[in-house]
Structure 1
């Protein structure tokens, strides 16, 4: 697919990402939840909500994986934005006429403004939109996937895995907290650092955490327990982008993922598991980072590499035991995102 991007400088992203010394992520999201008891006014209801994502975005990628693993495709429709955007909003440029076919809007911004006129924060993906009103319900990405597991159980497919089992939640939450601060967000602290000192500190923190993960995964197949959980989903979306964008574009270059034996084998194991690799689009991932982040790549030239063929090579992780889906089964239906 030929990725197109606008040369319009009126809404350039320059200055939007590298804004100071240390990069700090705005984590003030719309915290409204969709629950069985409709405590926030939004009940779990098949067909009512649309999950809006971009294949390029690691935070949105989590939700596409979990939706597929749990078999929520018939209950929650999906809208897919293109990989590039300007300073205003993600856009539906992959759809005919540049409009989401269900919401009928060209920009995700429109659904945010329907909820809060002139919404002052970032127009982020994933976002769950209430189709009848056309308004965003939530963009709280960590909670979205947890709610898919815990609140949407009535619509899970037969054989859906337990991604957030009660007996492991405390450990999953602990692992997730470190992975988020040091790895998921750690690569961004490197990439968007505005000073040498901030970059050096972020770099050291990132690779300290990756070394911890390398050691942990040398002796166990999955991050927590012997099956795939929410923790693996959250780590995978960073690892799958590491060599393609974070190593070079974000200067996370002590070593590549392919040079960390346990992490590389672990990432390949997940990639080859239905629901993970079949939701990856490397072309769109690279287009997003290299075109949108004008602060880091003013030429907007997208690299041709790296070679992706290694992702399908044998990983050998079976020797560590584990059952990917526990007592469940892999998803079988075609991928729609």
Structure 2
């Protein structure tokens, strides 16, 4: 009966402490009002002997009525809460992902590209109020997904990113420039690029510094991530006869100085990821740094539930009055 019920005036429940005193008062009063008469025979008295034993029911009805009134005074009610959120400061994000052959290196498990996609997917799910787009680049670049609020589209597009869709190489400048192009018309309060690579700029006709200057011009902050272990990594070095990759140990070459410069001039931060755990921590850190301002409105609707208790009290008092003046009239 009281499931999901709250009380607007719970202080009235203190009145229940008076009920034991009322019971004690009724007990002593009943003893005082009970008189004994000694007679030689009960012949001639015709009354049902069980009625006097039921006389305490009158007091019980009154006690229950008082209890119901106390509950009604406490105002039981149900509470329905509805919320509405409003994004007061949205963020547009483009994730620029390196898909060159070196991203198949196995220093991250199972390889760099798969590890990145898993972490990036978690990041996307944690940004429900932002628009997110994807840019893939290797020897050239293209927009995989324009910025959108539909996370299912972004996640499916991220899942479809694989090696071999572009000419091999690492065109960092092209990847950054394409990302800037996706964001330059954005009206969002905050625009950011997350640029990830595991190599050095060796392809493309746009220099990374030029792309960084474009990002500054359009007010776009860039977070750069260098991916790969320090030292050697098991990396594709040639093809087998069946077309599969042949792996061998190769020195990890990452232009950290370039990535640091891009992050610095655009107001972002440079990160270094050497394993799955550090990559995950980097995306968590970016998630904390770029907070979307959300305004939440709560609407409360209360439904009063005291009326049934008033009806119960009324019925009990009416029943007590009726019995007192009819069935128990000769004994009260």
Fold-level similarity (TM above 0.5): no
* Larger Cα-atom Rg: 2
- Give 1 or 2: higher strand fraction: 2
Output the TM-score relative to the length of structure 1.
Answer: 0.23
